[in-house]
A and B are shown apart, each in its own frame.
Chain A
């Protein structure tokens, strides 16, 4: 590859006609950020975000190829990253080092965040119920809505870094496929569940996979295992689809949630097998087949 020298950047953008890819590196985590359409994930260091005619398609989704870790009931996300860009005639290579320095917590109104571990285990239990029993989801969602009426809100707080995850995004000039290589070797400590999320907005309301499964809207579920070789999310409004395949050393899950003002995402996530510390996958963008 005949490449120009690597440059450290804050924003990277690649364009191919109406489609473009964007990455914005947060130099420091900023929990007070008002970016991201007012969603909580606006604070998170997002991954590669596709845009159509300049309109970014992430909504509450975190973008493509974003690492996060779970330690028991604790979820740690990246709040900042460094980005370097290598360009060549064949395409571009974006190298990102995500700093895992945001902890998902909760609180009521202006009061300090809840520091009782039992509460987060309790919350994890409700998340499990939500995933395990589709018929109970309505009640769990209504309960969640009731809590919000009393001022309950999730929050992201800056913590000492739990480690650095290195991601390399490689794509050709046509932007048809993004190859992602991710390494979790920089994560501190052991026993964490490693996850790589690829999410865009809830406008991607149709799901198709290579086993012939077709789902729409709430039928997609919020966290269901994908057993097919390939899975796609389609935005009928934009005429765009993104497709991921199974990756060695990981299980793939699909989900979509839409709730006015708080949730608007659709996508796929890889949960790495115990002992695995790296992941490679391809994300295909294009017209739905």
Chain B
């Protein structure tokens, strides 16, 4: 099955906008102490993000690393974007394990959650820039 890569990338961009909005909503829910809803929204957002990484972004990254010849700045920006994204996932796993007592949390969990939010936001902004560079400005 042939896939329109531009359509896929644009679809993924829209998904990322929706997920960013969801994460902001989750932050507001936490601020207002609706913690169960906060956990639910974050959980759904992370699962959808994992699917987007596995099906769209990881294959795209591997393609750029092995077949394309991107400039050094572009490659560095891509790797920073992906590293931030993976760090968010890792933090989410760590926070959940700590909440269940499977690991000992060092410090307050809210600090890790705020760090995850900031990393997600940074990764999103870099991702928007990458999308514009690849599909709009080129």
Q: Which residues of A line the B interface, CB within 8 A? A: 107-108, 111-116, 118-119, 122, 125, 128-129, 133, 135-136
Contact with A along B76-108 (1 / 0, CB 8 A): 000000000000000001001100111110000
With A135-B62, A135-B66, A136-B62 in contact, is A114–B97 under 8 Å at CB? Answer: yes
Please state if A119 and B54 are interface contacts (CB–CB under 8 Å): no
Please state if A122 and B62 are interface contacts (CB–CB under 8 Å): no
Please state if A112 and B50 are interface contacts (CB–CB under 8 Å): no
Task: Check if B8 is an interface residue, CB within 8 A of chain A.
Answer: no
Q: Which residues of B line the A interface, CB within 8 A? A: 43, 50, 54, 58-59, 62, 65-66, 93, 96-97, 100-104
Please state if A118 and B58 are interface contacts (CB–CB under 8 Å): no
Further 18 A-B residue pairs, CB within 8 A, beyond A122-B93, A128-B54, A135-B65: A108-B102, A111-B101, A111-B102, A111-B103, A113-B102, A114-B97, A115-B100, A118-B43, A119-B96, A119-B102, A122-B50, A125-B50, A129-B58, A133-B58, A133-B59, A135-B62, A135-B66, A136-B62
Please state if B101 and A119 are interface contacts (CB–CB under 8 Å): no
CA distance A238 to B62 in the complex (A): 38
Please state if A119 and B93 are interface contacts (CB–CB under 8 Å): yes
| Nearest residue, chain A, Cβ from B86 | A143
**What's the A-B contact tally at a CB cutoff of 8 Å?**
41
| Nearest residue, chain A, Cβ from B94 | A150
Q: Smallest CB–CB gap between A60 and chain B, Å? A: 25
CA distance A252 to B102 in the complex (A): 36
**Chain A residues whose CB sits within 8 angstroms of the CB of B43 once the complex forms:** 118
**Chain A residues whose CB sits within 8 angstroms of the CB of B62 once the complex forms:** 133, 135-136
**Chain B residues whose CB sits within 8 angstroms of the CB of A122 once the complex forms:** 50, 93
**Chain A residues whose CB sits within 8 angstroms of the CB of B102 once the complex forms:** 107-108, 111-116, 119
Q: Smallest CB–CB gap between B52 and chain A, Å? A: 13
CA distance A119 to B50 in the complex (A): 13
**Chain B residues whose CB sits within 8 angstroms of the CB of A115 once the complex forms:** 100, 102
| Nearest residue, chain A, Cβ from B62 | A135
Please state if B100 and A136 are interface contacts (CB–CB under 8 Å): no
With A122-B93, A136-B58 in contact, is A116–B100 under 8 Å at CB? Answer: yes
Pick the contact of B101: A112, A133, A136 (CB < 8 A): A112
**Chain A residues whose CB sits within 8 angstroms of the CB of B96 once the complex forms:** 116, 118-119
Please state if A129 and B54 are interface contacts (CB–CB under 8 Å): yes
CA distance A129 to B62 in the complex (A): 12
CA distance A125 to B97 in the complex (A): 17
Q: Smallest CB–CB gap between B93 and chain A, Å? A: 6
CA distance A125 to B50 in the complex (A): 9
CA distance A113 to B103 in the complex (A): 10
| Nearest residue, chain B, Cβ from A146 | B90
With A119-B96, A135-B62, A135-B66 in contact, is A108–B103 under 8 Å at CB? Answer: yes
CA distance A63 to B130 in the complex (A): 49
Greatest chain A CB density within 10 A among B65, B66, B96 is at B96
| Nearest residue, chain B, Cβ from A121 | B47
CA distance A164 to B96 in the complex (A): 35
Q: Smallest CB–CB gap between B51 and chain A, Å? A: 9
**Chain B residues whose CB sits within 8 angstroms of the CB of A114 once the complex forms:** 97, 100, 102
**Chain B residues whose CB sits within 8 angstroms of the CB of A113 once the complex forms:** 102
CA distance A116 to B43 in the complex (A): 13
Greatest chain B CB density within 10 A among A108, A112, A118, A133 is at A118
**Chain B residues whose CB sits within 8 angstroms of the CB of A112 once the complex forms:** 101-102
Q: Smallest CB–CB gap between A213 and chain B, Å? A: 22
